[in-house]
Amino acid sequence: MRFLFLTDTHIRGSVPQSRKDNFYETLYEKLREVISITHDEAVDVVLHGGDIFDRPDVSPSLVREFIMLMKDLKVPVYAVAGNHDVYGQNPSTITRTMLGVLDSTGIVKLINPGEKIFFEDNGIKIQLTGQHYFYGIDNEGKEASYCIKKDAGVDFAIHLIHGMLLDKPFFQEISYTLIEDILKTEADVTLSGHYHTGFGIINIQNKYFVNPGSLIRIDSTLSELTRMPAVILLDITKDGIKIQKRILKCARPGHEVFDCKKLEMDSFKEQKLAEFVQGLNATGKYSFTNISAIIEQLAKKQDLDAKVVEEALKRIGQAQEMLSRRDGEEILEVS
């Protein structure tokens, strides 16, 4: 049985400041190539690692274009929700998002925590599970989200998750999960999104951990400048598992799509921001301007009760929803 895995498409109507190409046309072209690969390679199922959209309330015109593309796919699409797909990093808000619309109409099938989907092909049984992103997914107790068990009679298990799974420690002060910490999982293949740079295909103890990186490059960083977007082809047969990374033919080198002058300015800003953060740390203040990161750091430093954190994120999500209704549709619409 053959699967195609992609992640972090971040469909949006606005253009990232660091890009100089027609962002929407580039994304559309990439999705068209993904569809061509599924046809040419006789893919049976497409798996998406989350952040299908760049925000939970993208314009209906964008959603319509995505639906039209998915109709050409002609194979089922299973996905988990990323942090950009929901309000306040809270998957319980999915029903009020555009991703929830796709799920309810059957265009995309969301895999909910605890749900097990089974495929049978040529005498083998494959189990598919998933985990949406939620606040604290990479904090204490992370094994519950990353580590799964096989049902009796299952030959191979795939686990799909949107979390900060890494192959080596990250230098920034954020929560993450190392592959070496979840080796007790019974999943033969763990497919991860969220970390845009990705780490490719890693095999440890006959278990595969895979992240090809985001399909679309948004951030103006050196790693994004040098990385080429790709998808994963996953074959599971009686003989075992075969995984290959397929770089998209339509993907252009970073220097052709990114504004290098903007990159230089961003580098300067990053340096100044680092100096500012260092100053804040020296005075005992908090080092993040992202509201969710502030809450996370507050929770750690003040040992806040989990219910307090959940309530804070719930209210942030409600505020985001009210702001999105007030703002209306995004700046750039698809005609």
- Given pLDDT bands bounded at 50, 70 and 90, which one contains residue 18? confident
Round to whole Å and give the CA distance between 109 and 80.
8
pLDDT of residue 287: 43
At 288 the pLDDT is: 46
Under a CB-based contact definition with an 8 Å cutoff, are residues 174 and 293 in contact? yes
pLDDT value at 331 more than 50: no
Q: What is the pLDDT of residues 115-146, one digit of tens each?
A: 999 999 999 999 999 999 999 999 988 999 99
pLDDT for the residue 289 = 47
* Segments in the chain forming alpha helices (H): 23-40, 60-73, 98-104, 143-146, 222-226, 254-257, 260-282, 291-302, 306-327
Side-chain-side CA neighbours of 142 within 13 Å: the count stands at 21
Lowest mean pLDDT among 21-25, 106-110, 127-131, 150-154: 21-25
Domains, the chain: 2-247 (3.60.21.10)
Q: What does the alpha-carbon distance between residue 81 and residue 167 come to, in Å, rounded to a whole number?
A: 22
What one-letter code names the amino acid at 194? H
Overall average pLDDT of the 275-302 stretch: 54
